[in-house]
């Protein structure tokens, strides 16, 4: 087996892609070489590196510390008497062996999984355990009520504000015609993957590998578009990428187009909250009304962010009421924002500026226990 001896036989897979980080994986207990090869393949698909033993490790922590224990049905009898622990799964191939269920009870297994039928389920289980599947990321979409409403500006500022709270933060550019959020943040020269690199993604992506592959700008991981024209990213890729991002926890901010093609609809379906940015003018309110109706068919929680200056007789409450939406806040007018961007200062980078203060107040409400903004 090419194993090294450490009291019991153990083996770690040797091959991995140089650009794909590995996370701590499960403990595998088996002597069945065919089953072992299958389990190593599934661990690789989940982006994790397991520890392999033929029997219960001699050190107690070798059994209790891994996030998941996969016991081959050939090794179950040798695991009798081991400390009961959550996250123990009995894995095998024989469908007709009634003895396996008794063994599962004896070793405290949570379930019995049969290959190859349960391969997809087992990959998900391995990846969830390695990533410490807990609370999903708070995922907020920002949409302009009309062109030029300032949705991208607010999305960038919110991401920077979330990062300042110490949360893991991912900013996703959902608008392929928007010019690139990495440019708006000043990170267009940063190394990392862009949307075209994920166009062929299907199924599950490893959240940690996704995060590490993206450019980091001012504490924010950014998934943007490249500078070259690219084919549209299919909904399956959007589902895979946002699903992986959400499993990492923290905050995900998505800048979305006003149109709803299939890819945008998939992104909307992942949102916890949509913010509709509306300038305080009648034509903008009329345009935003149509966008709000579309958002409301997909997103359960849609709120208005109203931006001044206002036309005569209008204020933020009037605009929100006209749209039939709760008011998430009034986005302060900041005449210096264009000059800041020309100087390479991203929107919201100054925490004491009007936009920075708005975002700090928003996150204070949204990230409070039980809060959603």
What tokens does 94 get? Answer: 């024989």
Rounded mean pLDDT, 262-273: 93
Pick 154 or 260 by higher pLDDT. Answer: 154
Number of H helices and number of E strands within the chain?
13, 15
Residues 160 and 163: their CA atoms lie apart, in Å, by: 5
Question: Per-residue confidence at 370, pLDDT binned at 50, 70, 90?
Answer: low
Q: What is the DSSP string of 2-35?
A: --EEESEEEE------TTS--EEEEEEE---HHH
Sign of the dihedral through C-alpha 328, 329, 334, 340: negative
Q: Under DSSP, is residue 278 helix (H, G, I), strand (E, B) or coil?
A: strand
Q: What's phi and psi for 48, nearest 5 deg?
A: -125, 165
pLDDT digits (tens, 9 = 90+) for 4-43: 333 344 444 433 333 334 457 899 999 999 999 999 999 9
Question: Per-residue confidence at 226, pLDDT binned at 50, 70, 90?
Answer: confident
Task: Give the model's pLDDT for residue 120.
Answer: 86
Task: Give the model's pLDDT for residue 128.
Answer: 78
Mean pLDDT score of the chain? 87
Residues 98 and 100: their CA atoms lie apart, in Å, by: 5
Task: Give the model's pLDDT for residue 239.
Answer: 92
Task: Give the model's pLDDT for residue 131.
Answer: 73
Residues 2 and 42: their CA atoms lie apart, in Å, by: 19
Residues 133 and 216: their CA atoms lie apart, in Å, by: 23
pTM for this structure?
0.72
What is the number of residues in the chain? 373
What tokens does 335 get? Answer: 């005449």
Q: Under DSSP, is residue 52 helix (H, G, I), strand (E, B) or coil?
A: strand
Q: Under DSSP, is residue 253 helix (H, G, I), strand (E, B) or coil?
A: strand
Question: Per-residue confidence at 371, pLDDT binned at 50, 70, 90?
Answer: low
Q: Under DSSP, is residue 164 helix (H, G, I), strand (E, B) or coil?
A: helix
């Amino acid at each position: 087996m090419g194993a090294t001896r450490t009291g019991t036989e153990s083996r770690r897979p040797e091959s991995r892609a140089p650009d794909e980080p590995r996370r701590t994986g499960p403990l595998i207990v088996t002597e069945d070489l065919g089953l072992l090869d299958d389990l190593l393949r599934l661990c690789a698909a989940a982006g994790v590196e397991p520890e392999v033993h033929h029997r219960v490790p001699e050190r107690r922590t070798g059994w209790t510390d891994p996030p998941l224990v996969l016991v081959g049905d050939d090794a179950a009898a040798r695991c009798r008497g081991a400390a009961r622990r959550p996250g123990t799964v009995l894995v095998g191939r024989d469908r007709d062996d009634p003895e396996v269920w008794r063994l599962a009870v004896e070793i405290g297994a949570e379930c019995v999984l049969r290959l190859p039928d349960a391969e997809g389920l087992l990959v998900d289980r391995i990846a969830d355990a390695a990533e410490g599947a807990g609370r999903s990321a708070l995922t907020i979409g920002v949409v302009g009520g009309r062109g030029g409403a300032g949705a991208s500006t607010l999305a960038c500022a919110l991401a920077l504000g979330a990062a300042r709270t110490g949360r893991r933060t991912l900013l996703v550019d959902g608008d392929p015609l928007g010019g690139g959020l990495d440019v708006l943040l000043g990170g267009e020269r940063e190394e990392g993957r862009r949307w075209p690199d994920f166009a062929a993604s299907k199924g599950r992506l490893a959240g940690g590998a996704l995060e590490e592959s993206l450019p980091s700008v001012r504490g924010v991981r950014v998934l943007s578009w490249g500078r070259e024209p690219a084919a549209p990213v299919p909904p399956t890729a959007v589902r895979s990428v946002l699903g992986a991002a959400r499993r990492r926890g923290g905050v995900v901010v998505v800048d979305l187009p006003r149109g709803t093609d299939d890819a945008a609809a998939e992104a909307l379906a992942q949102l916890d909250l949509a913010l509709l940015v509306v300038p305080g003018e009648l034509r903008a309110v009329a345009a935003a009304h149509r966008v709000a109706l579309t958002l409301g068919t997909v997103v359960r929680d849609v709120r208005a962010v109203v931006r001044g200056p206002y036309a005569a007789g209008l204020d933020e409450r009037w605009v929100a009421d006209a749209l039939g939406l709760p008011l998430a806040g009034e986005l302060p007018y900041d005449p210096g924002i264009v000059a800041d961007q020309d100087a390479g200062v991203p929107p919201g980078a100054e925490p004491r500026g009007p936009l920075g203060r708005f975002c700090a107040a928003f996150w204070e409400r949204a990230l409070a226990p039980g809060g959603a903004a």
